[in-house]
Structure 1
Amino acid sequence: MEISLSGGRFQSCLREIRKRARDVDDEKKGIKIKKEDWEKLHVHIASYNNFPTAAGLASSAAGLACLVFTLGKLMNVNEDYGELSSIARQGSGSACRSIYGGFVKWCMGKNDDGSDSMAVQLVNESHWDDLVIIIAVVSSKQKETSSTSGMRDTVETSPLLQYRAQTVVPSRILKMEDAIKNRDFESFARLTCADSNQFHAVCLDTSPPIFYMNDTSHRIISLVEKWNHSEGTPQVAYTFDAGPNAVLIARNRKTATLLLQRLLYTFPPQENDLDRYTTNMCTSDKHDHGSYMLGDKSILSDAGLQSIADVEALPAPPEMKAPNQKFKGDVSYFICSRPGAGPKVLTDEGHALIDSATGLAKGV
């Protein structure tokens, strides 16, 4: 799909990066561009997501952060990540955090023009490398209410938002920072789940109410809450952004395998998805949209799920009161990941999405 970059958010990012552009002189590639020439040059951008767009999984944050980072590299911009995060924020608020890797805080700032509203990295991705993230993609469909319009309506109509912003969030952020720095998973999980639930309570408090989650989202929450309660301490944290898809954070890889077993027991593939599960579970093609598991597929082997027969043989979790209740096909697919390093330049030309000879997306 080809889109224009004429929209205000894209243009803001382009304008701010061009302001900071510098001369480029690459003798090896025979490229010489003067600073003032960047105002007249056009760019052709190709991007690829391995997760749904506009479905509540921060696709705009990832896309705009990548756009700003890449344009900065292209135009030889000499700004620190904090300044780049401030530019990315103008494209998508959450994009400012995606400029960094690891755990990142978005600082509100005090200036009326928002110029000092930027992100700071609390710790890098190696600080808490035990964590494993499993994303349950419930729906790839574009959400009915966009994040931008939804937040605008919430600001205008929700009394609960004012209480949340003024009373809850400031102290919760400090507690979350301490939990991350101390690698205190129990506090981290309780804060994460509570904040997710309150965010969606604010959505319901909006007029008209905004329904981002669905029945499958609620069942995933119930699954995690029952397991955490039965263990006496949190094993997994859940969080839902502006959509029905669950981001589940396990305290370590062993816990992640137990989580995946519970998820696949409760939400097994439909019959017509069995081949997709079996055929693709061991492949690692980065453009493999057909898989039932994307990202780190080795988690399936670690969980003892080498085939669909292994999924069908999974025992009911001991904390489950209705063990025969299953919801086939209610989760489209899973993504296994971990805290990442943020944007990076790939030097292997084989990863390029643009044909260096034509300047167009490959395959066009």
Structure 2
Amino acid sequence: MASEEKPLVVVTCTAPVNIAVIKYWGKRDEDLVLPINSSLSVTLHQDQLKTTTTAAISKDFTEDRIWLNGREEDVGQPRLQACLREIRRLARKRRSTGDEDPPPLSLSYKVHVASVNNFPTAAGLASSAAGYACLAYALARVYGVDSDLSEVARRGSGSACRSLYGGFVEWQMGERADGKDSVARQVAPESHWPALRVLILVVSAERKLMGSTAGMQTSVETSPLLRVRLGWVGAGGRPGRVLRPSGPGRCAPLSGISRASQFRAEAVVPGRMVEMAHCVRERDFQGFGRLTMKDSNQFHATCLDTFPPISYLSDISRRIIRLVHCFNAHHGQTKVAYTFDAGPNAVVFTLDDTVPEFVAAVRHCFPPESNGDKFLKGLPVRPASLSDELRAALDVDPTPGGVKYIIATQVGPGPQTLDDPHAHLLGPDGLPKPAA
């Protein structure tokens, strides 16, 4: 808990990226960031991908300020303000139920925040999830909040609530209109499946043309595969932005909406959530891999069904999909599985004994144009060669430089607090430290 006697209270935390294998796409409430379906993700290890955030409060600060990757950003962004309001509300609530009277002055202190990612931002690698999870975690510690942070993180970025836990995580869509039951829960810890590996094939580190928030809102409004909000009905029959839930995991059809128009959210995802949780608990890679690819394909089909269509995949993305299916067909089983979020970069799941051969296949299909020694980052991968049979089975024309590099990682833990003062991104004056 923050000490009232300190002129400056500083906390530094890290938080992980998570990759959804059952994806959410679309909200039943834009303001509260409530999804139209539940989702399930895998938390990646912070040794390879993480956000680091320092939060500081002081009686001397005159305004809230935030710096992202060394650049000061607008602290008035609605999502950021929502997180700040929620964490301060929780802090006041906690203190009001305690023995401290009057409430500590720190509740009125302004906050300075600095955050950095060690991976490309806004390129479809779940940077907002890690960023807002880290923000919520750091703010909670600097303001002395000790409670479920799902709502705080979710208000910043929906998928951020899943980055509050390690291992395998479910984001329950919830039924309540106020979103209090739309929370993240761990399905299995990071130690549950030690053989699972994750390869991120970076096709582009450029900022994507359409962000996830705008993309999913357009899909909800225009895609017959997903659309659930035509004829929105609010309180008293007025036009609204919130769907009325009907039973566990379901959204009640509103006037003018057919059952078919809610196909993915209502008829597909609930069953897939149960199946995926089972595959994780049983460490069934065959089932896990097939379902991961099917759900990714359906998500991108929904994006293409949006009007105007949204295409997050590139030609290289589609070549990676072909590579994966050729690789699996050669082995007669699902040895590797792809998923793509809202960007062209592929996330490939496999088991540790398959990694060397698949990395060799990627090198064959996408030869590095330069810096071949930097093509593979993260966990070490032993060299392997391709058999003539596999080389022939891949049946692709090599595309030099198509994959910029590979990040090899594994399942990892949730947010961490760094005790080393040298890790702080803010100096004693509450401003970002000079770049080393």
| Counterpart in the other structure of 2:434 | 363
Shift in Å, 1:362: 2.0
| Counterpart in the other structure of 2:128 | 60
* Within-5 A mapping of 1:18-57: 18-21=88-91, 35-57=103-125
Does the CA contact (< 8 Å) of 1:317 and 1:323 recur in 2? no
* Within-5 A mapping of 1:5-16: 5-16=75-86
Shift in Å, 1:53: 1.2
State the superposition RMSD in angstroms: 2.0
1:294 equivalent to 2:377? Answer yes
Q: Deviations over 1:62-103 (max 9, x none)?
A: 100010011111111121xxx201221111000011100000
Does the CA contact (< 8 Å) of 2:222 and 2:306 recur in 1? yes
* Alpha-carbon distance in structure 2 between the residues aligned to 1:95 and 1:320: 42
Letter in 2 for 1:260: V
| Counterpart in the other structure of 2:27 | none
| Counterpart in the other structure of 1:229 | 329
* Within-5 A mapping of 1:141-290: 141-161=206-226, 162-251=262-351, 253-270=352-369, 273-274=370-371, 277-278=372-373, 281=374
Is the helix fraction higher in 1 or 2? 1
Does the CA contact (< 8 Å) of 2:289 and 2:337 recur in 1? yes
Classify 1:319/1:175 alpha carbon distance in 2 versus 1 (closer, same or farther; 3 Å): farther
Shift in Å, 1:348: 2.6
TM-score, with length taken from structure 2 = 0.70
1:124 equivalent to 2:189? Answer yes
SS state at 1:159 partner = coil
* Alpha-carbon distance in structure 2 between the residues aligned to 1:339 and 1:231: 25
* Alpha-carbon distance in structure 2 between the residues aligned to 1:322 and 1:176: 28
Q: Deviations over 1:237-256 (max 9, x none)?
A: 110000000000112x2211
Shift in Å, 1:4: 2.2
Shift in Å, 1:259: 1.3
Letter in 1 for 2:397: Q
| Counterpart in the other structure of 1:104 | 169
* Alpha-carbon distance in structure 2 between the residues aligned to 1:46 and 1:315: 49
Shift in Å, 1:317: 6.5
Q: Deviations over 1:92-131 (max 9, x none)?
A: 0000111000000010111112121011100100001111
Shift in Å, 1:233: 1.1
* Alpha-carbon distance in structure 1 between the residues aligned to 2:136 and 2:304: 33
Shift in Å, 1:183: 0.5
* Alpha-carbon distance in structure 2 between the residues aligned to 1:159 and 1:123: 34
* Alpha-carbon distance in structure 1 between the residues aligned to 2:397 and 2:90: 58
| Counterpart in the other structure of 1:85 | 150
* Alpha-carbon distance in structure 1 between the residues aligned to 2:306 and 2:281: 34
SS state at 1:20 partner = helix
Letter in 1 for 2:187: L
Does the CA contact (< 8 Å) of 2:197 and 2:409 recur in 1? yes
Classify 1:322/1:184 alpha carbon distance in 2 versus 1 (closer, same or farther; 3 Å): closer
Does the CA contact (< 8 Å) of 1:186 and 1:233 recur in 2? yes
SS state at 1:63 partner = helix
Shift in Å, 1:315: 6.4
* Alpha-carbon distance in structure 1 between the residues aligned to 2:387 and 2:426: 47
1:337 equivalent to 2:396? Answer no
| Counterpart in the other structure of 2:72 | 2
Q: Deviations over 1:275-313 (max 9, x none)?
A: xx43xx4xxxxxxxxxx33322x22xx125xxxxxxxx8
Letter in 1 for 2:123: A
The percentage of aligned residue pairs carrying the same residue is: 47
Using CA pairs under 8 Å that are at least 6 residues apart, name the structure with larger relative contact order, 1 or 2.
2
* Alpha-carbon distance in structure 2 between the residues aligned to 1:213 and 1:338: 24
TM-score, with length taken from structure 1 = 0.84
SS state at 2:433 partner = coil
* Alpha-carbon distance in structure 1 between the residues aligned to 2:299 and 2:130: 21
| Counterpart in the other structure of 1:75 | 143
Classify 1:46/1:169 alpha carbon distance in 2 versus 1 (closer, same or farther; 3 Å): same
Does the CA contact (< 8 Å) of 1:262 and 1:317 recur in 2? no
Unaligned runs of 5+ in 2: 1-70, 96-101, 227-261
| Counterpart in the other structure of 1:287 | none
* Alpha-carbon distance in structure 1 between the residues aligned to 2:391 and 2:345: 23
SS state at 2:338 partner = strand
* Alpha-carbon distance in structure 2 between the residues aligned to 1:66 and 1:242: 21
Letter in 2 for 1:256: V
Classify 1:205/1:320 alpha carbon distance in 2 versus 1 (closer, same or farther; 3 Å): farther
Classify 1:84/1:232 alpha carbon distance in 2 versus 1 (closer, same or farther; 3 Å): same
Classify 1:320/1:45 alpha carbon distance in 2 versus 1 (closer, same or farther; 3 Å): farther
Is the strand fraction higher in 1 or 2? 2
Classify 1:267/1:12 alpha carbon distance in 2 versus 1 (closer, same or farther; 3 Å): same
Does the CA contact (< 8 Å) of 2:132 and 2:160 recur in 1? yes
* Alpha-carbon distance in structure 2 between the residues aligned to 1:336 and 1:139: 16
Shift in Å, 1:21: 2.2
SS state at 1:71 partner = helix
Shift in Å, 1:352: 2.8
